[in-house]
Structure 1
Amino acid sequence: MSAPGPYQIVEADYGSDQAALRAVREAVFIREQGVPAELELDALDPRCRHVLARDAAGTAIGTARLAPDGRIGRMAVLDGWRAHGVGSALLQALLRIARQDGLPRVGLHAQETAIDFYRRHGFSPVGERFEEAGIVHLAMQCRIDRPVAVEDRPAAVVATVAVVAAARRQLAIHSRALDPGLYDHPRVLEALRRFAVAGGGPQVRILLQDAMAVQRAQAPLIALCQRLPSVFALREAGDPVDRENPVALVASDTGSYYLRPLGHRFEGETEHGARARTRQLLRAFDEAWERARPCTELRALGL
């Protein structure tokens, strides 16, 4: 399913953005899910930190909030924009705010249909299911003062998309052969495309360990690299130590990373707002990048 178009995530000003916040929440919670208006609108709103997703025209398409006690809520995305990473981007924006505020953990009440979504983002169940506003929920918590474990392919896709979405101008990707099942996933490809065309001089450096395998597989990401050669740079590790390095990584210039100690597996860890740890990872990447050779054979159109 292709995305309806580009979007951006911004922190909202409750005073000036109140109408946009409520328009999304009323559409999703009140009209779609049948939540009573007196339950959806509460006195906590003005004390919360809110984030908004806006489309290219500036129209609000999603929102979520973070209460002073660390509870995430009112996560809502308009129907036509679901399954395009908007919810993940909103959630990661709130997690970054929570880390900036020094919160050690956050919690939420997940609707039953969204439990797996939050689990993939590192949230764990607390207690038993319960009913709230006529909808089955489960309380969940996430520690944000330490990395979140990534355990399977769906979580790996979520983690990769979140790191790409968090980047401002620079991304670094270290992969043996662009990991089938991850860098050919439609959501990952769309996140990279969106980052590449967003403007502001984005740069994506991709360090491979087996360029020939990528060429043989005709990896979909290479086609994007060929269409946007001013954004994507490709190199192959040449030093024997670098070629045998099992680590895989995607990291941004904002302190977000997803690290896999064994690059042929999806298991690893991800973290946002971890600037010191990300700088450490990028230093090792930069050193290997300088020793690597440009992959000119992957630049030609029509693999």
Structure 2
Amino acid sequence: MNIAEFRVEPANYQADFDDLRAVRVAVFVNEQYIPQEVEFDSVDPDCHHFVARDNQNRAIGTGRLTSDGKIGRMAVLQTCRGQGIGEALLLNLINKARKLGRTSVFLNAQTDVLGFYEKFGFIREGDIFTEANIPHQRMRLQIEPITKSSRPAPKPRDALVEIAEFKTLEGTVSATLELITKARRQICIYSPDLEYVLYGRLDIGEALKKFAINSSGGNVLIIIQDTLAVRSHPHPLIDLAQRLPSAFLLRTPIESDDLQYPSAYLTNDRDGYLFRQQSSQYRGVWSPTMPSRNRQLSEEFERVWQRCRPCAEFRALGL
């Protein structure tokens, strides 16, 4: 299969487990006859996982990094090999180890792929041994941890802006546009059904498109409670996410408390936020620069995001 586009991203073991499992079962269990009880070990939940996805959000590769610096579970679906996916996964895992301050990483490579790892500088250690009835070779790579930047200190935060109220849809739109426009690398949206009257607007869509294209790796993270309502009619923001799948990540809650959450909000990475107590009403409070409230909502969003599942129901639309 020719993969025109793919991306590698960090995976949450619980939220992304089905995708991780599908790839690893296909490669290790079905192809290499490794027992599932061996493949999925007790270390798995505590590892840093990465997943490769195609432009339809389908998982096509995996890899993990253990707490002691071991790279493993490197797998790419058979139909997707030879297109740089394994290389991208390996580089992301090495970079993760570097960010964690490690000075080396190691792995147990199957002997038929030793050349692959040697291209990246891995050195063989010790003798060949058998693991899961497959010959393996221990290999290690010395890496330089990320050092503190010598760049000038970052500019101070923008001055605090007093919290303001809005009471109309027009006020909601105006505040939303300003928060999107000022974002650097991340926008988080919590919405019951990606309200068409707000997020279906041309100006909101254009602002999000401009952010996604110009933010150099930035993301729009969206939590949608009612995906059925979103799928009931065409939605411009879904179409935009379909065209820019690496920038837009969508998840939906699975826990009852999250599904019954009555509010809606938006945050950016410039300390701005907008909050509506009742998602059905276009009235609430916002500020372009209010770090304390932004932090509260951002942390809450992250907690819910980790409990959510990916919006698999949008994959038929190309997401």
TM-score by length of structure 2 reads: 0.49
- State the shift of 1:244 in Å: 0.5
Which of the pair has more CA radius of gyration? 2
Q: Name the CA shift for 1:221/1:153 in 2 (closer, same or farther; >3 Å).
A: same
- Unaligned regions of 5+ residues in structure 1, if any? 1-96, 103-143
> Which residue identity lines up with residue 213 of structure 1 in the other structure?
A
Aligned mates of 1:155, 1:178 — CA distance in 2? 18
Q: Tell me the equivalent position of 2:236.
A: 220
1:59-208 aligned within 5 A: 100=158, 144=161, 146-208=162-224
Aligned mates of 2:279, 2:299 — CA distance in 1? 18
User: Secondary structure in 2 aligned to 1:181?
Assistant: helix
Q: Tell me the equivalent position of 1:287.
A: 303
Q: Tell me the equivalent position of 2:312.
A: 296
Q: Tell me the equivalent position of 1:246.
A: 262
Aligned mates of 1:250, 1:101 — CA distance in 2? 20
> Which residue identity lines up with residue 173 of structure 2 in the other structure?
V
Aligned mates of 1:300, 1:248 — CA distance in 2? 26
User: Secondary structure in 2 aligned to 1:300?
Assistant: helix
Which of 272, 275, 284 matches 2:288?
A: 272
The answer to whether the 8 Å contact 1:226/1:299 transfers is no
Which of 244, 252, 255 matches 1:236?
A: 252
Q: Name the CA shift for 1:179/1:101 in 2 (closer, same or farther; >3 Å).
A: closer
Aligned mates of 2:240, 2:300 — CA distance in 1? 26
> Which residue identity lines up with residue 180 of structure 2 in the other structure?
V
Aligned mates of 1:296, 1:152 — CA distance in 2? 34
Q: Tell me the equivalent position of 1:63.
A: none
- Unaligned regions of 5+ residues in structure 2, if any? 1-154
The answer to whether the 8 Å contact 2:172/2:282 transfers is yes
- State the shift of 1:250 in Å: 0.9
> 1:109-156: per-residue Cα shift (whole Å, max 9, x none)?
xxxxxxxxxxxxxxxxxxxxxxxxxxxxxxxxxxx4x31101101111
Q: Name the CA shift for 1:101/1:213 in 2 (closer, same or farther; >3 Å).
A: closer
TM-score by length of structure 1 reads: 0.52
User: Secondary structure in 1 aligned to 2:221?
Assistant: strand
- State the shift of 1:234 in Å: 0.5
Aligned mates of 2:194, 2:313 — CA distance in 1? 16
Q: Name the CA shift for 1:191/1:101 in 2 (closer, same or farther; >3 Å).
A: closer
Q: Tell me the equivalent position of 1:258.
A: 274
Aligned mates of 1:237, 1:101 — CA distance in 2? 35
Aligned mates of 1:250, 1:186 — CA distance in 2? 18
- State the shift of 1:100 in Å: 4.0
Number of residue pairs the alignment of both structures matches = 164
Question: Percent of counterpart pairs with the same letter?
Answer: 37
- State the shift of 1:299 in Å: 3.0
Aligned mates of 1:169, 1:300 — CA distance in 2? 28
Q: Segments of 4+ in structure 1 off by > 6 A?
A: none
> Which residue identity lines up with residue 165 of structure 1 in the other structure?
T
Aligned mates of 1:186, 1:101 — CA distance in 2? 30
- State the shift of 1:300 in Å: 2.9
